[in-house]
Amino acid sequence: MTDTPPSSRQRAWMFTALGDPDLLMPKDIPLRSLATMSRRTWIQAEPGDAPGPLRHSLTAEGRAALLTVAKLNALLSAEDTGRITSTVAWPTLESLLREGLAVRITAHGQPGTADDPAYISALGRRLAGLPAVDERPASELLIAELTARGIEAFVQDDEEGNSHVVHRSPGFEAGFWRILGPGLGNSANHPAWMHDGWYGFVDDGGDCPSLPVRDLTGRDCVADSARAADALAVLLAARTPAPATSHAPGAPQ
């Protein structure tokens, strides 16, 4: 995005700043290098009263200097799910992966291999100016909602990489997961931004209904987890015996 691209050392410093919450450049960069990057408007001095060397932060021009047109288009043209399209040229994709602007992720939300699709990383989103996403495991959000309703739950994994959020009590079991697709299994530990609805299943003494908690209209994992937790709370309350009513001696029975 600039006629004079950053050198390899400058890129390393600028990528470090990109990962900093305040976009601050690393300390101890040679003054000559700071002057060069400042002259090219890639960085700017940050005001501060603290003693010590003046700090610099990465500018919008600096972020643009880290991208080629091909890389920027690859990031901006990603699908709504964050998945980078398969039409991106191999050298461009490999460069995005090498620089941490994209990552390969399995359907279960785990680090992938060359056979798995590539998605924009948090760093890539920041560089391309795309909104940040929730990277917490979806199971964490659901368990938090269940805990807030007094329902104990935990994550259960199997040998095939499937995971479920499970609640158990005497004679009762409930599980929640994301259906990955035919032959792909299930997941509860995928990142929240990959979420597309919980599926709920109940075993109540041999009676095995499904819980109507899946919402295919959106990808809000927090709202979907709250909906799933509410559904289970209602079901548990309905099967809890009402407390016995005490009667005073001589009172009508």
Block residue for tokens 């010590």: 52
C-alpha–C-alpha distance, residues 133 and 243, integer Å: 45
> pLDDT band for position 15 (50/70/90)?
very high
For residues 109 and 146, state if they share a domain. no
Residue 55: other Cβ atoms inside 10 A: 16
Exposed, middle or buried: residue 214 (CB in 10 Å: 0-12, 13-18, 19+)? middle
- The last residue of one of the domains, among 79, 94, 128, is 128
pLDDT at 95: 94
Three-state secondary-structure class, residue 163: strand
For residues 151 and 189, state if they share a domain. yes
For residues 146 and 220, state if they share a domain. yes
Q: pLDDT tens digit string along 105-154?
A: 998 888 999 999 999 999 999 998 888 889 999 999 999 999 999 999 99
Domain that residue 18 falls in? 8-65
102 assigned to some structural domain: yes
> pLDDT band for position 208 (50/70/90)?
low
pLDDT at 96: 96
Q: How many domains does the chain have?
A: 3
C-alpha–C-alpha distance, residues 136 and 103, integer Å: 16
pTM for this model (two decimals):
0.79
pLDDT at 2: 47
Q: What percent of the chain has pLDDT over 70?
A: 88
Output the CA torsion sign for 56, 59, 64, 67. Answer: positive
Asked if 77 and 66 count as a contact pair (C-beta separation under 8 A), the reply is no
Exposed, middle or buried: residue 239 (CB in 10 Å: 0-12, 13-18, 19+)? exposed
For residues 225 and 142, state if they share a domain. yes
pLDDT at 205: 78
C-alpha–C-alpha distance, residues 214 and 156, integer Å: 20
- The last residue of one of the domains, among 87, 110, 128, is 128
C-alpha–C-alpha distance, residues 231 and 212, integer Å: 8
For residues 214 and 149, state if they share a domain. yes
For residues 234 and 144, state if they share a domain. yes
> pLDDT band for position 196 (50/70/90)?
confident
Q: How far is CA 144 from CA 168, 218, 229, in A?
A: 16, 20, 9
Q: pLDDT tens digit string along 17-57?
A: 999 999 999 998 999 999 999 999 999 998 876 666 789 99
Q: pLDDT tens digit string along 157-191?
A: 998 889 999 999 888 899 999 988 888 889 999 99
Q: How far is CA 10 from CA 53, 142, 174, 228, 238, in A?
A: 19, 42, 53, 48, 63
245 assigned to some structural domain: no
Find the helix or strand (DSSP H, E) in which 194 lies: none
For residues 222 and 153, state if they share a domain. yes
For residues 96 and 114, state if they share a domain. yes
Better-predicted residue by pLDDT, 25 or 251 = 25
- The last residue of one of the domains, among 108, 128, 148, is 128
Asked if 175 and 198 count as a contact pair (C-beta separation under 8 A), the reply is no
182 assigned to some structural domain: yes
For residues 147 and 233, state if they share a domain. yes
Smallest Cα–Cα separation from 66: which of 22, 8, 21? 8
Q: Of 54-58, 87-91, 179-183, 209-213, give the lowest mean pLDDT range.
A: 209-213
2 assigned to some structural domain: no
Kindly report the average pLDDT of the chain as a whole number. 87
Torsion of CA 92, 117, 125, 108, to 10 degrees: -160
Residue 186: other Cβ atoms inside 10 A: 21
For residues 159 and 228, state if they share a domain. yes
C-alpha–C-alpha distance, residues 201 and 232, integer Å: 10
233 assigned to some structural domain: yes
For residues 40 and 109, state if they share a domain. no
For residues 124 and 149, state if they share a domain. no
Rounded to an integer, the average pLDDT of 223-252 is: 72
